């Protein structure tokens, strides 16, 4: 039995005594007859389960998704979810678009979507397809360990393409070429503006004798970059994908997607989990 809801079609299983799945198609009427399932759409009659192209309804192609949760000891301890793996009848390099992608990762301690993994991220290990949990490329979270402050900019030289920013303190040893630089105006140690993107680092110089010889050189031609001002507090953040540390939370919700045109089976999904010790 199937019910046509507002956003999806819900199926009911007599044997399971529940609603096991949702479907993307929206028929006007449905009926079973002679061991076949029929539906009506736009005044036309359609017989289901006879088309070899899966996920195709009324001439439109859809994508399969499955959402589930890793929820061991949900309120006893904060976990660090490091990896995601799956077993399936398909491979992560299947050229027929039959591989699985993880399009959403959320925990109860994260805001929004901290990550997603393309099918190209997965590699085969011991019979499973495996990937480290990665943060989205456009994700910007100043609470992450990859975000750090440098200090107040005391001097600025250069042209509109590259700028040399001077500091009275060392930029530190974590900073490196390729990091993204942001500037913010402080008042009494409190930010009065939203951090503005200033460009990417192309050179770092540490002073070995003290004084104002600590500098970073930034490329301001990157799209969206603005020129920082002297007196602003300068910060940097590393590449969010490369510096991913996993996802922290009491539980992890994931959403897998598959756009295969042929039958696909998903046997299991797993994760490497450890207790978080911040």
CA–CA gap between residue 192 and residue 152 (Å, rounded): 15
157-180 tens-digit pLDDT: 987 789 999 999 888 888 999 999
Six token digits for residue 84:
């995601």
**Alpha-carbon torsion 87, 91, 93, 94, what sign?**
negative
Strands 18-23 and 9-13: antiparallel
pLDDT surpassing 70 at residue 210: no
Q: Within its chain, how far is the Cα of 192 from the centroid?
A: 29
Class of residue 77 by CB neighbours under 10 A (exposed 0-12, middle 13-18, buried 19+):
exposed
126-147 tens-digit pLDDT: 878 888 887 666 667 777 777 8
Q: Within its chain, how far is the Cα of 250 from the centroid?
A: 18
* Helix (H) or strand (E) segment spanning residue 186: strand 186-187
Length of the chain: 278
178-209 tens-digit pLDDT: 999 999 999 888 888 889 999 999 999 987 66
CA–CA gap between residue 119 and residue 129 (Å, rounded): 9
pTM of the model: 0.62
For the chain, give every domain's residue range: 2-62, 65-140+244-275, 147-237
pLDDT reported for residue 276? 80
pLDDT surpassing 70 at residue 278: no
31-74 tens-digit pLDDT: 888 888 899 988 899 998 887 888 888 888 888 888 999 988 77
Q: Are 27 and 36 in contact (CB under 8 A)?
A: no
228-242 tens-digit pLDDT: 999 999 999 887 666
Q: Which CATH architecture has domain 147-237?
A: Beta Barrel (2.40)
pLDDT grade for 96, boundaries at 50, 70 and 90: very low
68-94 tens-digit pLDDT: 999 887 777 888 888 889 998 865 455
Six token digits for residue 241:
């994908």
DSSP 8-class letter at 119 = G
């Amino acid at each position: 039995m199937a019910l046509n809801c507002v956003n999806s079609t819900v199926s009911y299983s007599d044997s399971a005594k529940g609603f096991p799945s949702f479907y993307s198609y929206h028929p006007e009427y449905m009926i079973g007859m002679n061991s076949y399932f029929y539906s009506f759409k736009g005044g036309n009659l359609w017989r289901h389960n006879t088309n070899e192209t899966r996920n195709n309804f009324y001439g439109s192609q859809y994508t399969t998704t499955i959402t589930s949760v890793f929820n061991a000891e949900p309120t006893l301890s904060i976990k660090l979810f490091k990896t995601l793996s799956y077993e399936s009848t398909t491979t992560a390099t299947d050229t027929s678009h039959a591989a699985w992608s993880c399009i959403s990762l959320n925990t109860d301690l994260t805001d929004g979507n901290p990550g997603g993994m393309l099918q190209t991220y997965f590699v085969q290990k011991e019979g499973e397809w495996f990937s480290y949990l990665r943060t989205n490329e456009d994700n910007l979270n100043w609470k992450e360990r990859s975000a750090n402050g440098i200090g107040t900019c005391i001097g600025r030289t250069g042209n509109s393409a590259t700028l040399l920013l001077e500091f009275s303190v060392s930029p530190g040893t974590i900073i490196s070429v390729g990091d993204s630089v942001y500037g913010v105006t402080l008042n009494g140690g409190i930010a009065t503006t939203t951090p503005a993107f200033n460009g990417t680092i192309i050179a770092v110089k540490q002073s070995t004798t003290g004084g104002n010889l600590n500098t970073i050189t930034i490329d301001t031609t990157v799209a969206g970059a603005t020129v920082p001002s002297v007196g602003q507090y300068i910060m940097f953040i590393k590449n969010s994908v490369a510096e991913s540390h996993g996802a922290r939370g009491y539980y992890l919700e994931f959403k897998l997607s598959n756009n295969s045109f042929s039958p696909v089976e998903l046997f299991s999904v797993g994760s490497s989990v450890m207790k978080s010790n911040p």
